[in-house]
Structure 1
Amino acid sequence: MKNVVITGTSRGMGFEMVSLFAELGHNVLALSRNEKPVQDLKIENVTAFSFDITSTASMAEVFEHVEKHWERVDILINNAGDLVNKSFETTSTEDFRNIYEVNVFGVAEITRRLLPYMDRDSHVVNISSMGGIQGSMKFPGLAAYSSSKAAVLTLTELLAEEYKQNGPSFNALALGAVQTEMLNEAFPGYQAPVSAVEMAEYIVGFSLKGNRFYNGKIMQVSNSTP
């Protein structure tokens, strides 16, 4: 039985991962601004409360729970993300700041604060995007989003190097298009080739076993080219 922290669990892949981990017998701390969807599942080994990844108070509540109930974190999945689809000339500094607060600064902060509860057998999985891969196909309107996801990839490599002696392992999954609510909001009518459930199953499997084979790696999870 592992202790798993997942951010961004109110919908999409994050929501699906909660049930998948729980069915495998693991403890899950599900973190999202809207805690109700997970709470409504009424799963015994799942705890969910309202969490804002940009809030210091929310961070404190997470660490209080871990300290009181777990004392150890085996898996951290940084899945929470925000996206804005605007032309670059209409994307304001505030837009960039908001995206980076969630996609980069929030990821760095919750990881830093949970490190004392992790060891060399623990695994941090950062959910990024193919849009952050150098040389991959880029899409107009995603300057803030894709550049933030590129930052997450580099952060993953740096942390893997910094903590390679005593762990945890750090890996990133650069996902292609997945049919989620966030994708539909940004690109109405677009049909992705992979469902949220399918990708959630892949992420759960990778988070449980991937650190046996990988550390500091960027895995491109996409069935399209480039």
Structure 2
Amino acid sequence: MKNIVITGTSRGIGFELAQQFAKNGHQVLAISRNSKPLTNINHKNITALSIDISSNKDLQKVTQFVEKTWNKVDILINNAGKLVNKPFTEISSEDFLEVYKVNVFAVAEITKLMIPFLKKGSHVVTISSMGGIQGSMKFPGLAAYSSAKGAVITLSELLAEEYKEQQIAFNVLALGAVQTEMLEEAFPGYEAPLSAKEMADYLFNFALTGNKFYNGKVLQVSSSTP
């Protein structure tokens, strides 16, 4: 049984992933602004916290829970994301900041808070996007989102080096298009090749075993371009 922290669990991949870990006997701390979807499921292995991860004050609740209940974290999955789809000249500084708060700053902050609880053999998995991969095909309108997803790739590579002596693994999965609510909101009518459940199946196995094979790596999880 492992202790697993997942962000962005109110819907999509995170929602499916939290349930899969819980059903397989692991303890899950599920973090999202809207905790109701998982609270309604009422699984004994899931603790759902309603938290705005862009608020450092809110994130202290995560530390408090781990200190009081677990005292260690085996897996941290930085899954939460924010996407703005606008032409570049219409994206405001505020848009950029909001996207970076969720996709970059919150990833750095929650990882920093969990470091004291991550022991030898633990695994930090950050969900990025093919849009953040240099040389990949890009979607117009995603300047803030894709550049933020590129930033967390570099951050994870750096953390893998910084914490290799402690044997904490940091890896990134750069996902292609997945049929989630976030994708539907940004690109109405677009049909992705994978469902959220199918991607959650892959992430479940990677989070549990990927650190045996990889550290500081970016895996491109996409059957299409991008």
**Pairwise TM-score range, normalised by the shorter structure:** over 0.9
Q: How far apart in 2 are the matches of 1:208 and 1:114?
A: 17
Alignment of 1:88 with 2:88, yes or no, is yes
In structure 1, the residue matched to 2:5 is 5
In structure 1, the residue matched to 2:176 is 176
Tell whether the 8 Å contact from 1:118 to 1:167 is kept in structure 2 after alignment.
no
In structure 1, the residue matched to 2:167 is 167
Give how far 1:90 is off. 0.3
Q: Deviations over 1:151-201 (max 9, x none)?
A: 010001000000011131000000000000000000000000000000001
Q: How far apart in 1 are the matches of 2:131 and 2:179?
A: 16
In structure 2, the residue matched to 1:28 is 28
Give how far 1:224 is off. 1.2
After superposing on structure 2, the runs of 4+ consecutive aligned residues of structure 1 that deviate more than 4 Å are none
In structure 1, the residue matched to 2:105 is 105
TM-score scaled by length of structure 2: 0.99
Q: Deviations over 1:199-219 (max 9, x none)?
A: 001001000000001000000
Q: How far apart in 2 are the matches of 1:155 and 1:36?
A: 31
Gaps of 5+ in 1: none
Q: How far apart in 1 are the matches of 2:167 and 2:106?
A: 20
Select between 156-165 and 49-58 the one with higher mean Cα deviation: 49-58
Q: How far apart in 2 are the matches of 1:38 and 1:165?
A: 36
Identity of aligned residues (%): 65
Cα RMSD between the aligned structures? 0.7
Alignment of 1:188 with 2:188, yes or no, is yes
Select between 158-167 and 25-34 the one with higher mean Cα deviation: 158-167
Give how far 1:58 is off. 1.4
Q: Deviations over 1:20-56 (max 9, x none)?
A: 0011100000000000000001000110020111112
Pairs within 5 Å for 1:35-74: 35-74=35-74
Q: Deviations over 1:51-93 (max 9, x none)?
A: 1111122111111100001000000000000000000000001
In structure 2, the residue matched to 1:154 is 154
The secondary structure found in structure 1 opposite 2:125 is: strand
TM-score scaled by length of structure 1: 0.99
Q: How far apart in 1 are the matches of 2:98 and 2:55?
A: 13
Tell whether the 8 Å contact from 2:56 to 2:109 is kept in structure 1 after alignment.
no
In structure 2, the residue matched to 1:219 is 219
Q: How far apart in 1 are the matches of 2:26 and 2:225?
A: 35
Alignment of 1:17 with 2:17, yes or no, is yes
In structure 1, the residue matched to 2:210 is 210
The secondary structure found in structure 1 opposite 2:172 is: strand
The secondary structure found in structure 2 opposite 1:121 is: strand
Q: How far apart in 2 are the matches of 1:34 and 1:108?
A: 21
Q: Deviations over 1:121-158 (max 9, x none)?
A: 10000000000000000011000000000001000100
Q: How far apart in 1 are the matches of 2:97 and 2:45?
A: 35
The secondary structure found in structure 2 opposite 1:66 is: helix
The secondary structure found in structure 1 opposite 2:119 is: coil
